[in-house]
Structures are given as structure tokens and as C-alpha cells.
Amino acid sequence: MPTFKYTGLDSPITEFALMLVGRRDRHYYVVGSGMLIGPGAAITANHVINELHNLFYEQKAVPDPDNITTQFTLQAIHFPHRHESEAWAWDVRKVFHDDQTDLAFLQLHPTQEEQLSYVWRSPRLQLLPPPVGTEVSAFGYHSSVTEVDETSRRVTITTNPCTSCGVVCEVHNHKRDSAVLPFPCFRTDSRFERGMSGGPVFTSTGNLCGIICTNFSSSSPEEDKEHTSYVTTLWPSMVIKVAFNRSGHPENVYYPAFELVRDGFITAVDWDQFEYEHDLTTGIVTLRAPVV
């Protein structure tokens, strides 16, 4: 049976899971969740970025394949020392995305000197979707709210980190439909709530296998048994052009995210199952998954 429960900030997942907070002027909003995947690199749902843009500008973000340039700021909050109450804020300097999937990469920059010596630990990614019947667990910062004290200019965030467990019910290797979910994803009976979008989804072996996408409400009185939720599969994001600085490579040069996996910047357990081609002359990237 699916479960949904509060998860304290002392849980190990809070070292990697992110709370995304948008700010414009003195207005702060917790817009979703995310996940650290490598040094200075994180991933979230692309619709979280678009919703933040809509919140401040009441229009959809322009689908620039390189990044989204806006006048609001976005910070990623995480708790590197889970036995303490201290939270770290990272500035999101760039967002990398495209329209082929509901995934976006975030480039993080420190906001305090202590972060410069942070020892990054990264999860193992499973690029392919888990098969039907696989137990999965998801995490996100559910229903978080912000409050600004205008006198002290202090911002207080009240959060409700939750874990939702269930099983994979159906896998869509290409897309579920042409309008709502036109990209590879899988369905689970897990319960996803507001603020959890962009949060990580794990297999029972601890591999990051997807990102929380959406939840369709059920009309059934037995709500906990009838959730229909969707998770965005990771492998389509590997063709997104990113520009994370890597040792031994020129800075600020764009390349497909799959090269981060091949270089070991990101750890993926199944990357060698893919056929990958990057034509440097035309810039065309081809990634063939072993699922059709």
C-alpha cells in the first residue's frame, strides 16, 4: 500500500534534496524541490522554473536551449549537516533545459565562504525507468511557506518535508500523450503534493530514477489507494546542452549532459547501455536508449 509521511530535516535525504526559493524585491516563494547530482549541479522539473516565471511575470519563460535569463533570483536551499538546523543557500546562476522533457539542470554558486570547502557527495542515477512493479520512494518539500519580517528583514521558511512510497504501475517509453505528458515518464501510485515537484524519486536500491512531475487527484474516497502520479524519466535530459565547469575542459563551453556521465562528473549505473553520438560539425546529438 502506498504511504505518505512526514520526514524530518535530520533525514539523510535532506543533504541532497533541495528546496527552491524564488525572490523578486522582498517577495519570497517556495516554488518546488530539486536534487543535487554533482559538484555545483542540480536537477529539478522544468515546469517549476516556468511556474516561477509565471508567478513574477504572468507569462511563460522563453524556451531558450541555453538558459533562462530573468530578473528574479532563485536559490536552492539544502541542509548539509542534517544533525544541525543550519541551512545553506546556493544561488542558481543558470538553468539549462529544452522542450523535450520536463527536466532542467541548475548551476549552483556558493553564497558564503564555508561552502567553498564543501565535499560533494552525489547519488547514483538510473537513466532508464524502473520496470513495472518496482518499489519507489519520492521526497519533496511539501506546502512550504515564507514569511518576511520587514523590521529585521529576516526571512522565515516553514517547511513540511515528506516522503511518499509506492510502486511503478506503468512505463511510457516515449510519451503518455501529446498534450499533458509528451515525454518519457512512468506512472506510480505514490502521492505527490504541492511543493514536491522537481523532487527526487528513488528505487529500493537507492538509485535516483526520476524527478517528481505531477499528480492527478482521485475522486475515490479511498484516496491513498487511488493516486495517479507521474515521474519524469532521466535519460532524455542527457541531450540537454549544459555548461558546468569541469577540470581539464574549457570553461563556459556548452556540451550535452551525457558527457558529464561519461567523464564521471555524474554517476549513472546504466549509461553504457546507450548509443551516443555528438557530431561536432553540425552540433547534432543522438542518444539511443535500449527501450523502444
Coil, helix or strand at residue 29: strand
Nearest to 184 by CA among 136, 230, 229, 233: 233
Mean pLDDT of 149-177: 86
Task: Determine the pLDDT at residue 30.
Answer: 86
- Give the count of beta carbons closer than 10 Å to the beta carbon of residue 88: 19
pLDDT of residue 12: 86
CATH architecture of structural domain 125-235? Beta Barrel (2.40)
Report the pLDDT averaged over residues 222-249.
Answer: 85
Confidence at 154, pLDDT banded by 50, 70, 90? confident
Most confident segment among 35-49, 147-161, 278-292: 35-49
- Percent of the chain beyond pLDDT 70? 87
Q: Is the pLDDT of residue 224 over 60?
A: no
Determine the pLDDT at residue 119: 87
Query: CA-CA distance, 88 to 22, in Å (whole number)?
Result: 15
* Residues 135-156, mean pLDDT to the nearest whole number: 82
Q: Which residues pair with 141 in a beta bridge?
A: 161
Report the predicted TM-score, pTM, of the whole model to 2 decimal places. 0.89
What's the confidence (pLDDT) of residue 71? 60
Distance between CA atoms of residues 230 and 75, nearest Å: 25
Residue 286 or residue 224, greater confidence: 286
State residue 121's pLDDT score: 84
Q: Which residues contact 240 (CB under 8 A, 6 or more apart)?
A: 65, 96, 97, 98, 101, 103, 104, 105, 256, 257
Phi/psi for 132 (5° steps) reads -55, 135
pLDDT digits (tens, 9 = 90+) for 68-83: 444 668 999 988 875 5
**What is the percent of the chain where pLDDT is above 90?**
52
What are the backbone dihedrals phi and psi of residue 56, each rounded to the nearest 5 degrees, phi first? Answer: -90, -25
Least confident stretch, 156-165, 185-194, 234-243:
156-165
- Comparing 215 with 44, the larger pLDDT belongs to 44
From CA 33, how far away is CA 21, in angstroms rounded? 9
pLDDT for residue 291: 62
Cα 235–Cα 240–Cα 243 angle in degrees, nearest 5 = 125
pLDDT of 138 strictly over 90: yes
Question: 12 in the Ramachandran plot: left (φ > 0), alpha (ψ -120 to 50) or beta?
Answer: alpha
Cell 509506492 appears where? 166
What does the buried/exposed string (b/e) look like for 3-13 if buried means 16 or more CB atoms within 10 Å of the residue's CB?
ebeebeeeeeb
Q: pLDDT per residue over 174-207, tens digit each?
A: 999 888 899 999 999 999 988 899 999 999 999 9
pLDDT score at 24? 77
